[in-house]
Structure 1
Amino acid sequence: MAQPNDLLAVLIDADNVSQTRIGAVLDEIAKYGTASVKRVYGDWSKERLHGWLGAARDHVIQPVQQLENVSGKNASDIALIIDAMDLLHTGRFSGFCIVSSDSDFTRLASRIREEGVTVYGFGARTTAEAFRNACDQFTYLDLLESARQDVAPTDAAPKRMPGPKMRGDTTLVTLLRTNVSGASSDDGWANLAVVGSLMRKQQPDFDSRNWGYAKLSDLVREIGLFTIETNQGGGGVRVRDKRKA
């Protein structure tokens, strides 16, 4: 489980992500640890990236200049990958945050995970499935923006889906029931935090906010297929399939 003192390296592809999104991304990253390295890669001679320089200053992100020497070749991606491997080999970081929707980073994410280091991906809903699945956890940018009042989302954030409609989502229902069963003890009860962790491992882009719910517990209550209650004396929330009652 992520700890507040975990050191994270945040690597941002400026060609692929708007600077207007970075505040929301950094707010989310703060939940997983301390962003001790923050770098954004791009060719700052390009007019369309000029807004990034102000955002980098405001959020204390180091801009890394990478001239595009040959048209059509993304030198920034290569620079980001080289820096990621250099940082990985220091052994200092518990996690890497790759902020991009570019599937070219799929192998980078896989390589970092081979070292037992967590990879958090952040990108658009158009991000290739291969890159999403190469991360331990992948979060869609529009979900983060919807929680901030100072940002006008560029993508429509999901609206809260009612229980009957969620019950018709066979993929969601199967994922929930399978993992509640897998995490349950002999009495059928499972710790909801463990269930959520298992679901992320199977589907890295799983997030209750995709259905409009800030918390997994809110989604589980609304879907109506499970009994959910707070553990007596602490210990979080537990859940049980109503069919097992």
Structure 2
Amino acid sequence: MHQDNKNPRLAVLIDADNTFNVIPIIDELFEEMSKFGDISVRRIYADWTSDHVRQWKPVLPKHAIQPIQQYANTKGKNATDSALIIDAMDLLYTAPLDGFCIVSSDSDFTRLAIRLREAGKFVYGFGEKKTPESLRAACNQFVYFEILLQEKNEEESSNQVEAASKPRPDAEQITLVPIGKKTKQQLATDAKLVSLIRSAIEGLSDETGFAAMGAVKNHIVKNFSAFDSRNYGYTKFSELVNAIGLFELDDQKQKLRDKRKK
């Protein structure tokens, strides 16, 4: 299991037909994936004879992404999905990998994610917020493109950097909406969010009612793979919990407990 590996080896498999919106944030995507380990395999799947994937071509050399050709033999059938799945299974049995990064919002990869996890591999998913719950739940952790766009915009804003290049010809296809910061009232009335944190604290708390913050976060992610404090506009989990106002934080010991239990 790669938990014991300080630098786990990962394979990145990109569904080019289903991820055009990630092109403007491709640098941020690879930076995010590098947090999970060393990206040993980088492949992207499409019918590269088709004009509709031309936006991808200038991006590939920068990140050493290997394009895999798959002809669309039958109209209306996504042959690239099958090619990606077959490659993933080949890599599972032939490559010394610890995990897989699946870049797609397509629920067709749900069974693949489940199978890879059954084999003891970690699966990290990357897609839009519209990604079906089935795929999000099948991954160990799922990151939204919108989060990466938000971070890119914030960095550019803080550095007061204007766009250095003109809009891309295909910019009209980029429809991601950055995720804004939730207010204290919005957070406190988000029943699912509050319930996730409370149940984690209850299951992990000691005799004083406190639970380690890192353990609480990990517990939540295990049960809700798409959980990310950045989804609510907060960079750190501790900032999110503090903003909710329903939990007591011990910053020195990095612990928290439900204020109702005091």
Question: Which AA in structure 2 matches 1:198?
Answer: H
1:76 paired to 2:80: yes
Q: Which residue of 2 aligns with 1:85?
A: 89
Q: CA RMSD in A?
A: 1.8
How far off is 1:231 after superposition?
Answer: 3.6
Q: Which residue of 1 aligns with 2:185?
A: 164
SS at match of 1:25: helix
Q: Deviations over 1:186-237 (max 9, x none)?
A: 11111111111110111111111111111111000111111112345xxxx2
Q: Deviations over 1:27-59 (max 9, x none)?
A: 110111011101000011111211212101111
From the two aligned structures, give the one with the greater helix fraction.
2
SS at match of 1:228: strand
Q: Which residue of 1 aligns with 2:232?
A: 211
Query: Which whole-Å CA distance do the structure 2 matches of 1:13 and 1:20 have between them?
Result: 16
Among candidates 236, 239, 243, match of residue 256 of structure 2: 239
TM-score normalised to the size of structure 1? 0.93
SS at match of 2:59: helix
Tell me if structure 2 keeps the 8 A contact 1:142–1:154.
no
Among candidates 133, 137, 140, match of residue 141 of structure 2: 137
Aligned length: 241
SS at match of 1:180: helix
Question: Which AA in structure 1 matches 2:80?
Answer: S
Q: Which residue of 1 aligns with 2:68?
A: 64
TM-score normalised to the size of structure 2? 0.87
Query: Which whole-Å CA distance do the structure 1 matches of 2:250 and 2:51 have between them?
Result: 54
How far off is 1:2 after superposition?
Answer: 8.2
Among candidates 23, 35, 38, match of residue 34 of structure 1: 38
Mean Cα displacement is larger for which, 141-150 or 220-229? 141-150
Query: Which whole-Å CA distance do the structure 1 matches of 2:119 and 2:126 have between them?
Result: 20
How far off is 1:21 after superposition?
Answer: 3.3
Q: Which residue of 2 aligns with 1:17?
A: 19
Q: Percent identity?
A: 46
Q: Which residue of 1 aligns with 2:159?
A: none
Tell me if structure 1 keeps the 8 A contact 2:43–2:65.
yes
Query: Which whole-Å CA distance do the structure 1 matches of 2:94 and 2:249 have between them?
Result: 44
How far off is 1:140 after superposition?
Answer: 0.9
Q: Deviations over 1:75-113 (max 9, x none)?
A: 111110011001111351111000000111010000001
Unaligned runs of 5+ in 2: 157-162, 164-170
- Runs of at least 4 residues off by over 4 Å: 1-4, 149-153
